[in-house]
Amino acid sequence: MNLQSNRLKTPHLHLLEMFTGGLAALALTSVSFPASAATTRTAKAVVENKTKSDIAYVVLVHKYSDDFFNDETWVNLKKGKTTKGPLTVKYRTGFGTTGKDWWRVFFQFKDGKTCYSDPKNFRGAFDASERLILNNAGELGNALGISIGSGTGVIAGPPGIAAGGYYGGVGGRKAADGLAKLLFSKGSTTGFKQMILRASDENGTVRIIIQDGERIILRAPRSGGATTRYSCFAKPLVSVGQNIRQVIFKGGSFVDLGQGRWAELGADGSTRFRFTEETRNSTFIVLVDKSRGYRIKIDLNKNEASVQDMKGKVLTTYDVTDKK
């Protein structure tokens, strides 16, 4: 009798063994994904200026959801050029990852027009307090601990405040440096463009291409790309004149030492004379040397410097060859 009962149950037991064995195998499989587990990866990112105008500074922000925030500020990005010293971005891929890559660009042309990536034409992207920060970026720079100054002729050289004999130029960054963390590190992705990086993009270079016609192209190293637009403020947020930290002429230059102090340097970098800043706006920079009774008026539009006496009489003029 027992033997018969066992024989009758055998098919069911066989099915049960198959079912429970399958579950066990599935359980083992579900907890072991060494090849596709979440992996933190890095890539590089650069900005290309494909417009017909030079860019005074550009800020690039990358966010991988709320896990990673990466940003970089470059200065003196001339038309047709690409930033040097790429931004390193972090992201994750693999099983269980839910994050996404978000990108934002903020830049100012040399003529003072300030623009920002704007995927949905969100012209209210900056509230009143943020606009106040932007409009006073030059004055807030020191208080915020932002290094103010232009590059040494190399796009995106190492940041730092000018010191000593300036070693061939003025170090530091524009007042724009720091705006990324001030304005874009919040949780919102309003104004950001999504372009997800894949495992195949690791160690590659993301290209952010700014074009005329309010168009920005984002190209991942290998996986694809995206396109977005940018909008511009009706008036400059930061005066171009406020950004100037070095005025170059044949045989020397005037260099902003900070706190209203300037120096005239020779071609060899030695200090010739010292000046006090009297006036600065989007058109002129006026420097005064009361000890010698001279005033230097630098016309930023005409690229001309005039030496005057203290009554304003022009004694001589000479060409400005570059401004940084």
CATH of the domain at 175: 2.60.40.3820
Q: Are residues 306 and 171 in the same domain?
A: no
Integer angstrom CA distances of residue 69 from 125, 183, 227: 19, 12, 21
Classify residue 2: in a domain, yes or no: no
Task: Give yes or no for residue 56 having a pLDDT over 90.
Answer: no
Give the distance, in angstroms, between the CA of residue 317 and the centroid of all CA atoms in the same chain: 37
DSSP H helix total and E strand total for the chain: 5, 18
Q: Following DSSP, what letter does each residue of 47-88 receive, concatenated?
A: EEEESSS-EEEEEEEEEETTTEEEEEEEEEE-TT-B-SSPEE
The parent domain of residue 203 ranges over 39-232
Whether residue 176 is found in the same domain as residue 308: no
Instruction: Say yes or no to pLDDT of 48 above 60.
Output: yes
Residue 119 in this model has a pLDDT that exceeds 60: yes
Residues 77 and 190 both lie in one domain: yes
Higher-confidence residue of 150 and 91: namely 91
Highest average pLDDT, of 62-76, 168-182, 195-209, 305-319, comes from: 195-209
Q: What is the DSSP string of 239-288?
A: -HHHH--EEEETTEEEEEEETTEEEEEETTS-EEEEEEEEEE-SSEEEEE
In this structure, are 89 and 189 located in the same domain?
yes
Last residue of a domain, which of 189, 210, 232?
232
Asked if residue 136 belongs to a domain, the reply is: yes
Tokens, residue 53: 């105008």
Report the mean per-residue pLDDT for the chain: 74
Question: Do 190 and 119 fall into the same domain?
Answer: yes
- What is the model's pLDDT at position 147? 32
Q: Do both 66 and 185 map to the same domain? A: yes
Cα–Cα distance measured from residue 95 to residue 39, given in angstroms and rounded to the nearest whole number: 9
**Do 225 and 250 belong to one domain?**
no
* pLDDT(49) > 50: yes
Q: In terms of domains, do 172 and 130 share one?
A: yes
269 and 213 within one domain: no
Number of domains in the chain: 2
Domain final residue pick, 194, 209, 232: 232
Residue 234: pLDDT band (50, 70, 90) is low
Q: Same domain for 112 and 260?
A: no
pLDDT value of position 141: 39
- Quickly tell me which residue has 């990852």 as its tokens: 97
Instruction: Please answer whether residues 84 and 156 qualify as being in contact, where contact means their C-beta atoms are separated by less than 8 angstroms.
Output: yes
DSSP for residue 37: B
Among 183, 211, 232, which residue terminates a domain? 232
Q: Residue 91 above 70 pLDDT?
A: yes
Residue type, 296: I
**208 and 264 both lie in a single domain:** no
| 161 vs 288: which has the higher pLDDT | 288
Whether 165 and 295 map to the same domain: the answer is: no
For residue 16, the model assigns a pLDDT of 40
Average pLDDT over residues 209-237: 88
* 38, two tokens: 């979440």
SS3 content of the chain, % helix, strand, coil (to 5): 20, 40, 40
pLDDT of residue 179: 57
What CATH number is given to the structural domain containing 267? 2.40.128
The per-residue pLDDT for range 270-324, each reduced to its tens digit, is 889 999 999 888 788 999 999 999 999 998 888 899 999 998 899 999 999 888 7
